[in-house]
Structure 1
Amino acid sequence: MPFGNIPAALVIVAGCVLAVILYFAGSKIRTHLEGSEKGISRVIISALGIPAVIAILTITIFLALRYIADLPELAHQVMESTYAQVLYIILGSLIIAFFVRNFLDLYGKKIANLTDSDFDDKLVHFLQSVYGYVIGIGAFFMILSVLKIDITPLLATGGLVGIVVGLAAQDTFGNFFSGAMIAADQPFREGDRIEIQGVIGDVVSVGPRSTRIKTLDSQLVTVPNKILTENMLTNFALPDITLKVRISVGTGYDSDINLVKNILKTVAQKGIASGFVLSTPAPEVYFLEFGESALMFQLLIWTGMYDKTFEVRDYLNTEIYTAFKAAGIEIPYPQMDLHLKSSPVHI
């Protein structure tokens, strides 16, 4: 190694050691402040931690380059002040991004819970989704300004290209905007069971471009956010987790109507005792119509297991069948009577 490069090596070693010390010191301070009342201090330490390490390593490289002999001309250009300003902008953007993220994570929900309105919760969720894009775009335009790059000619000459690209990517941009709308409006949350265009399942994750749903068959379906905002969507978990379940059943025309109603009410009470049925609102039984082959009744119950409707229906149907069989009540099936008329045969 040339003698002139030894100081550069020492600078790199010293910078790496300082960066490691700073990283572990910051982690220890964050752990000490965890759960304390000094929340804003933890936000600042977290925001400065990683960017500060990056800044030290970058400064170390800049200083080491000054001691390297026969440094190429390109390296000297990199070390000019203009590029240093670009670096400052990048580091500043990282610090702001880390600060905003930690601040929203630590104080966002606390501030939103101070009011009864859910608008604050939606606003916090929206800010958590878009702050990175806003800071990134702002840093990009600041870098262009520092480099003295005028984007006006680019916009003028690239207008046609922009239109073509815009038309080709309109669905992609539409999905991103729809993702921002979902973040702001929150028609559903992760874990909610929803139905969209015939697909029923639980929301696994909500991304900026698409939403993933786990169907009742344990299949993962990726739905573009634009479809979720442009079509009618059913959320079984909102405004609460209660769900009305209708059990329709037919009995023979010779059945005792009052007896059938009492049996259905008794089944509903067993459902309440088992935990499948809620006592409030109370279960209801209706004699709806005279069917072609049966008298049609309907049992209406409410359940708090919106994600277990199959189990609820299975329990109630089994109990109804057992009770009807014990009481001698017939559950008819569609049938057709054929009447044949005989006529003399002429030869």
Structure 2
Amino acid sequence: MIFKFEPIYKERVWGGAEVRNYLGRDTPPSNHLGESWEIVDRKEDNSVVSNTDFKGLSLRELLRKEADQVMGPGWPRDLPFPLLVKWLDCSQRLSLQVHPPAEVAERLGGEPKTENWYVAKATEDAGLFIGLRRNTSPEAFHRSLAENTAESLCHRVSSRAGDSILVESGRMHAIDAGNLILEIQQNSDTTYRVYDWDREGLDGRPRELHVENSMQCIDFTDYEPSPIHTSEEVGFETIADSKFFRIRKLNLTPDETVELKEAEADAALIHALGNGLLVDGKPMCKGEQALSPYSTSCSLSSPEETSVLVTDRFSVNMQDEPNASGKFRMRKSST
């Protein structure tokens, strides 16, 4: 058994129509659909189960009722699902931004966030801003923001389908135009916008910047990182391995069956990158996500060549022992 969820679509000034066109979804008619929140468990947004006998329940309600079966014995029923999964359709470049490391987030009243980008589709001139040009100082960067020359100090790499990069808290970043990206991240929605290329938002007004908060968060030793160019070889390849999650890419050959997990093994997320994926013999559409719960086994197969991402090892984000209130809590990052 797997759980699927209804996507939550969000308009963004930089959004486009690839969620509708490339993923083949029946979306709202907007040509500014920037985000599709695929799996989310937050107060402001919560995924709704779209299959099984639990259809219609929110993810929050599902975990309250079935935490042991979904996440494993001892998972606290009031603990939110630890990850948030999104599609990002970037027809224009996103703002230059940063997510706060844990110790800074606590001081600023935000949430830390480490995320991973997987590029599903990219135009010929697409790229990613990740980190800084070598030897960029905080003073020089702050000055460049006032002078509208920040782009010259940002490290930009070309992007292509199959690229993957881990964006840890503190890493300055922006997705340039022409990318369709699957983003797998900690369950956080704190973003500090450093620079927005002097553009207006959907309401016709400049979007808010958070320069001073950003300057406290940016890792000014993070010079010129490179994405992983994932393999097309058959089998598993680990493309991200952080303290918050592990992501592996699996390339399947026709009529091959891979036993992903046994019953009573850690829950896993399944992300279908192409057509033809079968999970326990049942189809998943391109771009669809599913949660394989702790209580059941799971096998993957396909009648054609296809690729899938698998995210696991995310249940280790909880404390081994309860805190003074008797409740478990999320482990804080030290990055």
Q: Into which bin does the TM-score normalised by the smaller protein fall?
A: under 0.3
Instruction: Judging by fraction of residues, say which structure has more strand.
Output: 2
Larger radius of gyration: 1
TM-score for both structures, normalised by structure 2 = 0.19
Where relative contact order (Cα < 8 A, 6+ residues apart) is larger, the structure is 2
TM-score, length-scaled by structure 1: 0.19
